[in-house]
Protein backbone atom coordinates (compact mmCIF):
# COMPACT_ATOMS: atom_id res chain seq x y z
CA UNK A 1 0.00 0.00 0.00
CA UNK A 2 2.96 2.28 0.54
CA UNK A 3 3.72 1.88 -3.14
CA UNK A 4 0.10 2.62 -4.00
CA UNK A 5 0.09 5.70 -1.81
CA UNK A 6 3.29 6.88 -3.40
CA UNK A 7 1.74 6.56 -6.85
CA UNK A 8 -1.35 8.47 -5.79
CA UNK A 9 0.81 11.14 -4.17
CA UNK A 10 3.00 11.34 -7.27
CA UNK A 11 -0.02 11.62 -9.53
CA UNK A 12 -1.50 14.32 -7.34
CA UNK A 13 1.79 16.17 -7.36
CA UNK A 14 2.04 16.12 -11.14
CA UNK A 15 -1.59 17.12 -11.48
CA UNK A 16 -0.98 20.07 -9.19
CA UNK A 17 2.20 20.96 -11.03
CA UNK A 18 0.33 20.77 -14.35
CA UNK A 19 -2.45 22.99 -13.04
CA UNK A 20 0.07 25.51 -11.73
CA UNK A 21 1.95 25.60 -15.05
CA UNK A 22 -1.34 25.98 -16.89
CA UNK A 23 -2.40 28.85 -14.63
CA UNK A 24 0.98 30.49 -15.05
CA UNK A 25 0.82 30.30 -18.85
CA UNK A 26 -2.76 31.59 -18.91
CA UNK A 27 -1.85 34.52 -16.67
CA UNK A 28 1.18 35.27 -18.84
CA UNK A 29 -0.99 35.21 -21.97
CA UNK A 30 -3.52 37.53 -20.40
CA UNK A 31 -0.80 39.92 -19.33
CA UNK A 32 0.63 39.94 -22.86
CA UNK A 33 -2.78 40.63 -24.34
CA UNK A 34 -3.43 43.42 -21.84
CA UNK A 35 -0.06 44.97 -22.69
CA UNK A 36 -0.76 44.77 -26.39
CA UNK A 37 -4.21 46.23 -25.84
CA UNK A 38 -2.80 49.17 -23.88
CA UNK A 39 -0.21 49.79 -26.60
CA UNK A 40 -2.94 49.61 -29.19
CA UNK A 41 -5.07 52.16 -27.39
CA UNK A 42 -2.16 54.57 -27.12
CA UNK A 43 -1.41 54.10 -30.82
CA UNK A 44 -4.99 54.48 -31.93
CA UNK A 45 -5.48 57.57 -29.83
CA UNK A 46 -2.41 59.07 -31.43
CA UNK A 47 -3.40 58.03 -34.92
CA UNK A 48 -6.93 59.33 -34.62
CA UNK A 49 -5.79 62.61 -33.17
CA UNK A 50 -3.04 63.36 -35.68
CA UNK A 51 -5.18 63.52 -38.83
CA UNK A 52 -7.86 65.36 -36.91
CA UNK A 53 -5.38 67.98 -35.75
CA UNK A 54 -4.09 68.43 -39.31
CA UNK A 55 -7.60 68.80 -40.69
CA UNK A 56 -8.60 71.18 -37.91
CA UNK A 57 -5.61 73.43 -38.51
CA UNK A 58 -6.06 73.38 -42.28
CA UNK A 59 -9.78 74.09 -41.90
CA UNK A 60 -9.12 76.99 -39.54
CA UNK A 61 -6.64 78.62 -41.87
CA UNK A 62 -8.98 78.22 -44.81
CA UNK A 63 -11.92 79.62 -42.88
CA UNK A 64 -9.85 82.62 -41.79
CA UNK A 65 -9.28 83.46 -45.42
CA UNK A 66 -5.55 83.60 -44.76
CA UNK A 67 -4.74 81.21 -47.56
CA UNK A 68 -4.93 83.26 -50.73
CA UNK A 69 -2.27 81.65 -52.84
CA UNK A 70 -3.68 79.08 -55.29
CA UNK A 71 -0.90 76.53 -54.79
CA UNK A 72 -1.26 76.62 -51.03
CA UNK A 73 -5.00 76.35 -51.32
CA UNK A 74 -4.51 73.19 -53.33
CA UNK A 75 -2.01 71.84 -50.81
CA UNK A 76 -4.49 72.42 -47.99
CA UNK A 77 -7.18 70.62 -49.95
CA UNK A 78 -4.89 67.67 -50.57
CA UNK A 79 -3.95 67.54 -46.92
CA UNK A 80 -7.51 67.44 -45.74
CA UNK A 81 -8.38 64.86 -48.37
CA UNK A 82 -5.55 62.42 -47.58
CA UNK A 83 -5.90 62.79 -43.82
CA UNK A 84 -9.62 62.13 -43.96
CA UNK A 85 -8.97 58.96 -45.96
CA UNK A 86 -6.52 57.82 -43.30
CA UNK A 87 -9.04 58.53 -40.63
CA UNK A 88 -11.79 56.69 -42.44
CA UNK A 89 -9.66 53.58 -42.91
CA UNK A 90 -8.73 53.59 -39.27
CA UNK A 91 -12.32 53.90 -38.16
CA UNK A 92 -13.45 51.18 -40.55
CA UNK A 93 -10.88 48.79 -39.12
CA UNK A 94 -11.93 49.58 -35.58
CA UNK A 95 -15.55 48.96 -36.49
CA UNK A 96 -14.61 45.66 -38.11
CA UNK A 97 -12.97 44.55 -34.88
CA UNK A 98 -15.85 45.71 -32.74
CA UNK A 99 -18.31 43.89 -34.98
CA UNK A 100 -16.25 40.70 -34.96
CA UNK A 101 -15.95 40.88 -31.18
CA UNK A 102 -19.65 41.06 -30.63
CA UNK A 103 -20.47 38.74 -33.52
CA UNK A 104 -22.56 41.50 -34.98
CA UNK A 105 -21.18 41.41 -38.46
CA UNK A 106 -24.16 40.94 -40.67
CA UNK A 107 -23.20 37.85 -42.53
CA UNK A 108 -25.53 37.26 -45.44
CA UNK A 109 -24.57 34.05 -47.11
CA UNK A 110 -25.46 33.83 -50.76
CA UNK A 111 -24.48 31.53 -53.62
CA UNK A 112 -21.37 32.96 -55.23
CA UNK A 113 -18.95 32.02 -57.98
CA UNK A 114 -15.72 33.07 -56.30
CA UNK A 115 -13.89 33.38 -59.61
CA UNK A 116 -16.26 36.14 -60.75
CA UNK A 117 -16.09 37.81 -57.37
CA UNK A 118 -12.31 37.67 -57.27
CA UNK A 119 -11.95 38.85 -60.86
CA UNK A 120 -14.11 41.84 -60.01
CA UNK A 121 -12.01 42.67 -56.97
CA UNK A 122 -8.79 42.44 -58.97
CA UNK A 123 -10.13 44.59 -61.79
CA UNK A 124 -11.03 47.27 -59.26
CA UNK A 125 -7.62 47.21 -57.58
CA UNK A 126 -5.11 46.20 -60.25
CA UNK A 127 -4.35 49.77 -61.20
CA UNK A 128 -3.55 50.78 -57.63
CA UNK A 129 -1.35 47.73 -57.10
CA UNK A 130 0.60 48.35 -60.30
CA UNK A 131 0.99 52.02 -59.46
CA UNK A 132 2.72 50.91 -56.28
CA UNK A 133 5.23 49.08 -58.45
CA UNK A 134 3.94 45.55 -57.84
CA UNK A 135 3.83 42.67 -60.21
CA UNK A 136 0.46 40.99 -59.89
CA UNK A 137 0.29 37.39 -61.05
CA UNK A 138 -3.12 35.77 -61.14
CA UNK A 139 -4.29 32.27 -61.85
CA UNK A 140 -8.04 32.08 -61.51
CA UNK A 141 -9.80 28.94 -62.55
CA UNK A 142 -13.24 29.34 -64.12
CA UNK A 143 -14.04 25.82 -63.14
CA UNK A 144 -15.06 26.32 -59.53
CA UNK A 145 -18.31 25.32 -57.87
CA UNK A 146 -20.60 27.73 -56.08
CA UNK A 147 -19.89 28.54 -52.43
CA UNK A 148 -22.20 30.15 -49.88
CA UNK A 149 -20.48 33.31 -48.81
CA UNK A 150 -21.07 36.88 -47.71
CA UNK A 151 -19.61 39.11 -50.41
CA UNK A 152 -18.76 41.99 -48.04
CA UNK A 153 -16.80 39.54 -45.87
CA UNK A 154 -14.99 38.31 -48.95
CA UNK A 155 -13.90 41.84 -49.85
CA UNK A 156 -12.62 42.47 -46.33
CA UNK A 157 -10.77 39.16 -46.31
CA UNK A 158 -9.01 39.60 -49.63
CA UNK A 159 -8.47 43.32 -48.92
CA UNK A 160 -6.63 42.65 -45.67
CA UNK A 161 -4.50 39.89 -47.18
CA UNK A 162 -3.52 42.11 -50.12
CA UNK A 163 -2.77 44.99 -47.80
CA UNK A 164 -0.39 42.78 -45.84
CA UNK A 165 1.22 41.38 -48.98
CA UNK A 166 1.96 44.97 -49.99
CA UNK A 167 3.01 46.15 -46.53
CA UNK A 168 5.40 43.28 -45.86
CA UNK A 169 6.79 42.99 -49.38
CA UNK A 170 10.32 44.23 -48.73
CA UNK A 171 12.15 44.66 -52.02
CA UNK A 172 10.35 41.90 -53.92
CA UNK A 173 7.21 43.64 -55.01
CA UNK A 174 5.24 40.61 -56.05
CA UNK A 175 1.72 39.42 -55.33
CA UNK A 176 0.35 36.12 -56.56
CA UNK A 177 -3.33 35.31 -56.39
CA UNK A 178 -4.81 31.98 -57.30
CA UNK A 179 -8.17 30.31 -57.12
CA UNK A 180 -8.92 26.69 -57.83
CA UNK A 181 -11.17 23.85 -56.90
CA UNK A 182 -9.60 21.18 -54.71
CA UNK A 183 -12.07 18.35 -54.11
CA UNK A 184 -15.01 19.72 -52.17
CA UNK A 185 -13.26 23.01 -51.38
CA UNK A 186 -12.63 26.19 -53.31
CA UNK A 187 -9.14 27.34 -52.50
CA UNK A 188 -7.90 30.92 -52.59
CA UNK A 189 -4.22 31.75 -52.17
CA UNK A 190 -2.52 35.08 -51.67
CA UNK A 191 1.23 34.87 -52.01
CA UNK A 192 4.04 37.34 -51.57
CA UNK A 193 7.82 37.21 -51.80
CA UNK A 194 8.35 39.56 -48.91
CA UNK A 195 9.72 39.56 -45.39
CA UNK A 196 8.07 36.32 -44.34
CA UNK A 197 7.04 35.48 -40.80
CA UNK A 198 9.51 34.33 -38.13
CA UNK A 199 8.85 30.76 -36.95
CA UNK A 200 8.15 31.79 -33.39
CA UNK A 201 5.52 34.28 -34.54
CA UNK A 202 3.58 31.87 -36.73
CA UNK A 203 1.23 30.63 -34.04
CA UNK A 204 0.38 34.18 -32.92
CA UNK A 205 -0.28 36.11 -36.11
CA UNK A 206 -4.05 35.54 -36.03
CA UNK A 207 -4.27 36.84 -32.47
CA UNK A 208 -5.70 40.27 -31.90
CA UNK A 209 -3.07 43.02 -31.51
CA UNK A 210 -0.17 40.70 -32.30
CA UNK A 211 2.64 41.98 -34.50
CA UNK A 212 5.87 40.08 -35.19
CA UNK A 213 8.74 41.93 -33.61
CA UNK A 214 11.13 41.95 -36.54
CA UNK A 215 8.39 43.45 -38.67
CA UNK A 216 7.94 46.18 -36.10
CA UNK A 217 11.58 47.05 -36.49
CA UNK A 218 11.16 47.01 -40.25
CA UNK A 219 9.10 50.15 -39.82
CA UNK A 220 5.73 49.03 -41.03
CA UNK A 221 2.58 50.44 -39.58
CA UNK A 222 -0.27 48.44 -38.17
CA UNK A 223 -2.13 47.35 -35.09
CA UNK A 224 -2.17 43.61 -35.41
CA UNK A 225 -5.87 43.53 -36.19
CA UNK A 226 -6.10 42.64 -39.89
CA UNK A 227 -5.48 38.92 -39.61
CA UNK A 228 -7.69 38.48 -36.57
CA UNK A 229 -10.51 40.08 -38.54
CA UNK A 230 -9.72 37.86 -41.54
CA UNK A 231 -9.72 34.64 -39.51
CA UNK A 232 -12.91 35.57 -37.77
CA UNK A 233 -14.70 36.33 -41.04
CA UNK A 234 -13.36 33.25 -42.82
CA UNK A 235 -14.71 31.09 -40.01
CA UNK A 236 -18.04 32.88 -39.88
CA UNK A 237 -18.33 32.11 -43.58
CA UNK A 238 -17.68 28.42 -42.94
CA UNK A 239 -14.12 28.44 -44.26
CA UNK A 240 -10.67 27.85 -42.86
CA UNK A 241 -7.38 29.69 -43.17
CA UNK A 242 -3.79 28.52 -43.03
CA UNK A 243 -0.42 30.04 -43.74
CA UNK A 244 3.00 28.95 -44.87
CA UNK A 245 5.87 31.32 -44.59
CA UNK A 246 9.63 31.51 -44.62
CA UNK A 247 11.63 34.45 -43.41
CA UNK A 248 13.03 36.57 -46.23
CA UNK A 249 11.32 34.32 -48.79
CA UNK A 250 7.69 35.22 -48.39
CA UNK A 251 4.31 34.08 -47.20
CA UNK A 252 1.35 32.25 -48.63
CA UNK A 253 -2.09 32.50 -47.07
CA UNK A 254 -4.57 29.82 -48.09
CA UNK A 255 -8.29 30.02 -47.55
CA UNK A 256 -10.66 27.15 -48.21
CA UNK A 257 -14.41 27.49 -48.51
CA UNK A 258 -16.62 24.42 -48.76
CA UNK A 259 -18.59 23.96 -51.96
CA UNK A 260 -22.25 24.83 -51.36
CA UNK A 261 -24.81 22.10 -50.84
CA UNK A 262 -27.46 21.99 -53.55
CA UNK A 263 -30.14 22.32 -50.85
CA UNK A 264 -28.61 25.56 -49.49
CA UNK A 265 -28.58 27.10 -52.96
CA UNK A 266 -32.19 26.07 -53.57
CA UNK A 267 -33.25 27.38 -50.20
CA UNK A 268 -31.56 30.69 -50.92
CA UNK A 269 -33.37 31.18 -54.21
CA UNK A 270 -36.67 30.14 -52.68
CA UNK A 271 -36.45 32.93 -50.12
CA UNK A 272 -34.70 35.39 -52.47
CA UNK A 273 -36.37 34.95 -55.84
CA UNK A 274 -34.52 36.68 -58.70
Map the footprint of ligand ADP across residues 137-166, applying CB under 6 A. 164-165
Binding segment toward ligand ADP, per CB under 6 A, in 97-105, 118-126, 144-152, 205-213: 205-213
Stretch (H or E) spanning 92: helix 70-101
Evaluate whether 142 touches 153 at the Cβ level (below 8 Å).
Answer: no
Map the footprint of ligand ADP across residues 240-259, applying CB under 6 A. 251
- The pattern of x and - marking residues 15 through 54 that bind ligand ADP according to CB under 6 A reads ----------------------------------------
55 counts as binding ligand ADP under rule CB under 6 A: no
Distance of alpha carbon 221 from alpha carbon 224, whole angstroms: 9
Q: How far is CA 23 from the centre of its chain?
A: 30
Among 39, 222, 238, 258, binds ligand ADP (CB under 6 A): 222
225 counts as binding ligand ADP under rule CB under 6 A: yes
Q: Which of 239, 242, 134 is nearest to 192 (CA)?
A: 134
> Alpha helix (H) ranges present in 102-255?
114-131, 151-167, 213-217, 226-236
Residue nearest to ligand ADP (CB): 222
C-alpha dihedral, 22 to 28 to 30 to 34, nearest 10°: 180
Evaluate whether 161 touches 269 at the Cβ level (below 8 Å).
Answer: no
191 counts as binding ligand ADP under rule CB under 6 A: no
Binding segment toward ligand ADP, per CB under 6 A, in 74-82, 133-141, 188-196, 259-267: 188-196
Residue placing its CB nearer to ligand ADP in the complex, 146 or 227:
227
Residues interacting with ligand ADP, by CB under 6 A?
A: 164-165, 167-168, 192, 194-197, 205, 210-212, 215, 222-228, 251
Amino acid sequence: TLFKNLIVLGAAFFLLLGALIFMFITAQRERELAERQAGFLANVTHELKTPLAVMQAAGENLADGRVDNKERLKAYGNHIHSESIRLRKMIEKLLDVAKADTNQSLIELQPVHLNTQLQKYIEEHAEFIKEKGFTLETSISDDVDIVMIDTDSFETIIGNLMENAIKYSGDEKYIGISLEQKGSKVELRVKDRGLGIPKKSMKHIFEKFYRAEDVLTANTKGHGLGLSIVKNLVEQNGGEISVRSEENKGSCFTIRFPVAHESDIEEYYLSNPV
